[in-house]
Structure 1
Amino acid sequence: MALDTETFDLLKSTLQRFVRERLVPREDEVAETNTIPEDIRAEMRELGLFGLSIPEEFGGLGLDMEEEVNLAFELGRTSPAFRSLLGTNNGIGSQGLIMDGTEAQKQHYLPKLASGEMIASFALTEAEAGSDARSLRTSAKRDGDGFILNGTKRYITNAPHAGLFTVFARTEDPDNPEGSITAFLVEAGTPGLSIGSVDKKMGQQGSLTSDVVFEDCRVPASAVLGEKTGQGFRTAMKVLDRGRLHISAVCVGAAERLIADSLDYAMERKQFGQPIAEFQLVQAMLADSRAEAFAARCMVLETARAKDRAEVVTTDAACCKMYASEMVGRVADRAVQIHGGAGYMSEYAIERFYRDVRLFRIYEGTTQIQQLVIARNMIKQRKSEL
């Protein structure tokens, strides 16, 4: 454990209270305004939530993977928009920098990310490069002692209020006609970088995404992550295990919130003279949801512990992401069914969660990508055994 048990338990109980007393009551406001209130942002900064996984030497809490997923379970019990705001600082927006950045890059950016002074954003996806990350077309051409970036990134989380973008672009490579993928650290406000209109989405209002456009955007050579070109794809893949486990834990938390709300409703709602919780078919939906959420929780915790033991968990992390994200979709569907007509009404959180959780099966690698990762790794391992 990165923290002693007493300190971590205090942090967890504080977060539980923050979610219950401060975030849940503001969910409707966030959904209606598509904005996280500034007072909530300030409280998140005061609690240190932007630096959960950033090393202590840079101002973060330096949580290990098991500690992180235990807190993600709690964050999942409210609107995903709250978690999304701080998620990139703890995950894909900082982990590449932590793993592959130079000491100077870490010293300059990580304290700002840990404090929440700066929001990080991970700019990989393009119109023609989502699951097929190798096909990206954003270019970075050498220009004297720097690079000129051109291209458009799409659906980039936190782009509208990000201060730092980890941008993946194709650089020239004498050994590869197609060029190599390189990661760049580009600050908001850099000439040639612009942000598109905020995307209008099915759900997760308050979690802002948009295009990020580069038009002859010049960056110095020092902006290359780790100061090594051609390492970007490897960096992107390295951050995924932690990111997938984090999202899996959020899915578990969301499922547990849906189950709790459904149970409360079923015990209060009466039909045929008794609470609908007394009907066996309603009980079956509750039981199925509880069992699946429990299975996902166990998967995530076990894989997180393995990662903390420095084991390779790529296959198991993909299993967690695939199962947990599909699981929460099924739980949300049952929750609407248990609520009946009320579950289709926006006055109940169930309707919003039903839309919100659909995205979990898409980002951090779609379910279909997880299936490919799992199966290919199975085949690779079996071949090595023969």
Structure 2
Amino acid sequence: MSPLAEHEQQMVDLTARFVDERVRPRVAEFEAEDRYPEEFVEEMKILGCFGLLVPEEHGGADVSTACFARVTEELARGWMSLAGAIGGHAVIAHLIRTFGTEAQRSAYLPRMADGSLRATMALTEPGGGSDLQSMRTHADPDGDGYLVTGSKTWISNARHAGLVGLLCRTDRDATPPHTGMGVLLVEPADGLTVGPKIPKLGYRGIEACELVFDRMPVPASALLGGEPGRGWAQMMRGLEVGRIQVAARAVGVAQAALAAATRYAQERESFGKPIWQHQSVGNLLADMATRVCAARLLTADAAQRFDSGARADMEAGMAKLFASEAAVQVALDAMRVHGGYGFSKEFEVERYYRDAPLMVLGEGTNEIQRSVIAAQWIARHRT
């Protein structure tokens, strides 16, 4: 794992202090009430968390993806929901900086950098899940723009986003379907309805909602890059960023669970000695620590490959797959170390146990990751 640049490490350290001093002492009250963490988000704006992947010329921090992953890990270590507040936003920022027109970059990136404009991405549909090529949401040409019809679900930050990166079909006759897709940069207006919050097991505080588009008019200038038929390839590159970010979230949750178990195993005694000295508990800690370190290294490897400009869908998929499964196992093992107390809301480990499964399911299920990894592995190792 290559060291970060000095200014990037300072950003990670600053985020870690924010988490330890501001977030961890108060996270329980927000989480219990499922309350949007507006106070924390405002502080994250000041820290520069929303402009991590925005170029300096547009007011952003313009850090490496490796630094972005480490900042994400620190946020998730405090409360995974805070990392979710910047997830889709960062993907859309990357898409605009990479594929957007000059007008799109100038219009959106400065406000995204300071957090005054927050973005989310809309891919998943109620009946489609991970099968994005079967999506039905479409944008039909209408004069100088489009009329968008359809629905998307599980959209994080839906009520707080002023910009939606919408993947939809702009040519319903295209074969195969992905050749007729575009990413529209949609600002909420008449024709878009945001549904109620979906009740969730974990990942509380940050809302997930359904978006319903009813012949919503969108100008032609909203098409990312201005060229039709490019949306699928654009979003697949963006999802490499998204999956690295989800992997980093998983590392953060796993690290928090490991730290809690490590503290408890030294404080709690049974049969006259700290419980970590009992082989069954010591073995749990050894496996947990190994999983966290391996997940962090896989995530760093994927981020560094992405930063090199190379295709990183396999590496991002590997990181997301391993880190998310590790987070679930480490959270469960942390509960085992705590015994009955791990099942109590008096201890943080029950929250980690509820938050961890999201990373298995989000940004493409782990079953999808395995398909991506297998296909790319064979493509790179043809005999």
TM-score by length of 1: 0.94
> Mapping of 1:285-324 within 5 angstroms?
285-324=284-323
Q: Which amino acid aligns with 1:163?
A: G
> Mapping of 1:52-67 within 5 angstroms?
52-67=52-67
With 149-158 and 5-14 compared, the bigger mean Cα shift is at: 5-14
1:25 partner SS: coil
Cross-structure match for 1:131: 130
1:367 aligns with 2:357: no
For the residues of structure 2 that align with 1:203 and 1:80, how far apart are their CA atoms?
Answer: 9
1:176 partner SS: coil
For the residues of structure 2 that align with 1:337 and 1:283, how far apart are their CA atoms?
Answer: 12
> Mapping of 1:254-265 within 5 angstroms?
254-265=253-264
For the residues of structure 2 that align with 1:104 and 1:212, how far apart are their CA atoms?
Answer: 26
Cross-structure match for 2:195: 196
- Residue 61 of structure 1 deviates from its aligned partner by 0.4
- Residue 243 of structure 1 deviates from its aligned partner by 1.6
1:85 aligns with 2:85: yes
For the residues of structure 1 that align with 2:206 and 2:360, how far apart are their CA atoms?
Answer: 16
2:92 partner SS: coil
Q: Which amino acid aligns with 1:128?
A: G
1:44 aligns with 2:44: yes
CA RMSD after TM alignment: 1.7
- Residue 4 of structure 1 deviates from its aligned partner by 8.5
Return closer, same or farther for 1:228/1:353 CA change in 2, 3 Å cut-off. same
For the residues of structure 1 that align with 2:43 and 2:215, how far apart are their CA atoms?
Answer: 38
- Residue 93 of structure 1 deviates from its aligned partner by 2.7
Moved over 4 A (4+): none
For the residues of structure 2 that align with 1:183 and 1:122, how far apart are their CA atoms?
Answer: 9
Cross-structure match for 2:218: 219
State the Cα deviation string for residues 179-218 of structure 1 (Å, max 9, x = none): 8111111102x11011000110011111211001101101
1:341 aligns with 2:352: no
- Residue 47 of structure 1 deviates from its aligned partner by 0.9
For the residues of structure 2 that align with 1:375 and 1:163, how far apart are their CA atoms?
Answer: 37
For the residues of structure 2 that align with 1:286 and 1:177, how far apart are their CA atoms?
Answer: 49
With 286-295 and 163-172 compared, the bigger mean Cα shift is at: 163-172
- Residue 305 of structure 1 deviates from its aligned partner by 2.1
Percent pairwise identity: 37
Cross-structure match for 1:107: 106
Cross-structure match for 1:10: 10
1:355 aligns with 2:339: no
For the residues of structure 2 that align with 1:147 and 1:309, how far apart are their CA atoms?
Answer: 36
For the residues of structure 1 that align with 2:161 and 2:172, how far apart are their CA atoms?
Answer: 30
Are the aligned partners of 1:89 and 1:114 in contact in 2 as well (CA < 8 Å)? Answer: no
Cross-structure match for 2:245: 246
1:186 aligns with 2:225: no
2:129 partner SS: coil
Are the aligned partners of 1:266 and 1:276 in contact in 2 as well (CA < 8 Å)? Answer: yes
Cross-structure match for 2:381: 382
For the residues of structure 2 that align with 1:4 and 1:336, how far apart are their CA atoms?
Answer: 33
Are the aligned partners of 2:258 and 2:334 in contact in 1 as well (CA < 8 Å)? Answer: yes
For the residues of structure 2 that align with 1:197 and 1:59, how far apart are their CA atoms?
Answer: 34
State the Cα deviation string for residues 141-174 of structure 1 (Å, max 9, x = none): 1111111111111110110111000112212266
Cross-structure match for 1:171: 170
List runs of 5+ in structure 2 lacking aligned partners. Answer: none
For the residues of structure 1 that align with 2:369 and 2:332, how far apart are their CA atoms?
Answer: 22
- Residue 331 of structure 1 deviates from its aligned partner by 0.3
Q: Which amino acid aligns with 2:119?
A: A
For the residues of structure 1 that align with 2:298 and 2:4, how far apart are their CA atoms?
Answer: 24
Cross-structure match for 2:209: 210
- Residue 175 of structure 1 deviates from its aligned partner by 5.0
For the residues of structure 1 that align with 2:174 and 2:52, how far apart are their CA atoms?
Answer: 40
Q: Which amino acid aligns with 1:68?
A: F
Are the aligned partners of 2:89 and 2:121 in contact in 1 as well (CA < 8 Å)? Answer: no
- Residue 284 of structure 1 deviates from its aligned partner by 0.2
TM-score by length of 2: 0.95
Count of aligned residue pairs for this structure pair: 380
1:275 aligns with 2:274: yes
> Mapping of 1:18-33 within 5 angstroms?
18-33=18-33
Are the aligned partners of 1:168 and 1:183 in contact in 2 as well (CA < 8 Å)? Answer: yes
- Residue 283 of structure 1 deviates from its aligned partner by 0.3
Return closer, same or farther for 1:174/1:349 CA change in 2, 3 Å cut-off. closer
For the residues of structure 1 that align with 2:171 and 2:69, how far apart are their CA atoms?
Answer: 39
2:66 partner SS: helix
- Residue 95 of structure 1 deviates from its aligned partner by 1.9
With 252-261 and 81-90 compared, the bigger mean Cα shift is at: 81-90
- Residue 346 of structure 1 deviates from its aligned partner by 1.2
Are the aligned partners of 1:50 and 1:87 in contact in 2 as well (CA < 8 Å)? Answer: no
With 262-271 and 197-206 compared, the bigger mean Cα shift is at: 262-271
List runs of 5+ in structure 1 lacking aligned partners. Answer: none
Return closer, same or farther for 1:4/1:326 CA change in 2, 3 Å cut-off. closer
State the Cα deviation string for residues 293-330 of structure 1 (Å, max 9, x = none): 11111222223222222232221211111111101111
For the residues of structure 2 that align with 1:312 and 1:183, how far apart are their CA atoms?
Answer: 20
For the residues of structure 2 that align with 1:364 and 1:204, how far apart are their CA atoms?
Answer: 14
